[in-house]
A = this chain, B = another copy of it.
Amino acid sequence: MNVRMVDFTNEEIAKQLAVVEPLTDSVRALIDAVIRTEVDDDRLNAAKAKIDEVVADLTSQQMPGSYGLAFTPDLEGMPWGNAAVGARNAIAPPMRIDHPGDGTASSEVHLGAAYEGPSGLVHGGVSALLLDQLVGEVVSVGDEIPSFTGTLTVKYLRPTPLGTVNLRAEITGREGRKTFVRGEIFTDAGPTVTAEAVMIRPQISPVPE
């Protein structure tokens, strides 16, 4: 586990994001380019050599393990390494999630060539990844202790074409430490994938006196 407090001010965070977000976006463009390029082998090899130079420089000073979860003094989470929403993680599209605070959440995400499963379609597992993140956030927003997914049931109603997709989720019930959430991915033609999730709030044992 790598959970740490950082003493960044909001201004410092904004300054960091102004550098790392464009860098991560460039890596996203690179992922897409490597999938779709038709340049010859010499140019592919030259590309690899340049990327290796960048990697050598960036890894000359780095944190051990994963990014983990950093919290500011205001207890604002910085999930910058997260595979679905991380500002520093080029695997993340990234999802930007709206939380109006009324038990719902939504997101509009652009999914390009890197999110493909069947030809021209969003990978079913990518749909599950985005829905898992969304149902987790709708339950955890405002809570000190995030809930974890217990069970996620994903139904594929019809194929989801690559491109811009929309997601929404809402809390449908609570029972003890469980919260029930329904989520879906939809396009202009209607819902393509639905998810039913049982979210579980971890039990925190009291510290023995």
Contacts and interface: CB of A to CB of B under 8 A. Distances in A.
How many copies the complex holds: the figure is 2
A2 B34 contact: no
Interface in A1-38: 1-3, 19-20, 22-24, 26-27, 29-31, 33-38
Given A31-B90, A58-B43, A150-B155, A2 B68 contact: no
A73 B199 CA distance: 48
Interface string A32-52: 011111110101111110111
Interface in A76-97: 80-84, 86, 88-91
B58 A33 contact: yes
Interface residues of A, number: 87
A136 B129 CA distance: 16
Contact of A132 (B61, B81, B123): B123
Best-buried of A63, A84, A117, A126 by chain B (most CB within 10 Å) = A117
A51 B37 contact: no
A84 B120 contact: no
Contact of A66 (B2, B120, B129, B155): B120
B30 A27 contact: yes
A115 B89 CA distance: 9
A151 B146 contact: no
Interface in A109-150: 112-120, 123-126, 128-133, 136, 146, 148-150
